[in-house]
Amino acid sequence: MTRAFIGLGSNQNHPPEQLDKALRQLTSLSQTSRITCSPRYWTAPWGEPDQPDFLNAVAAIDTRLDAEALLQALLAIESNQGRTRNEGQRWGPRPIDLDLLLYGEQIFDQPELQVPHPRMTQRAFVLVPLLDLAPDLMIPGLGAARDYLKGLDQTGLRPAENATPSR
Residue at 128: amino acid letter: V
SS3 163: coil
- Residue spans of alpha helices (H) in the chain: 15-27, 67-80, 124-133, 145-149
81-91: burial string, b at 16+ Cβ within 10 Å, e else: bebeeeeeeee
Contact indicator for 152, 40 with CB cutoff of 8 Å? no
Active site residues: 83, 94, 97, 99
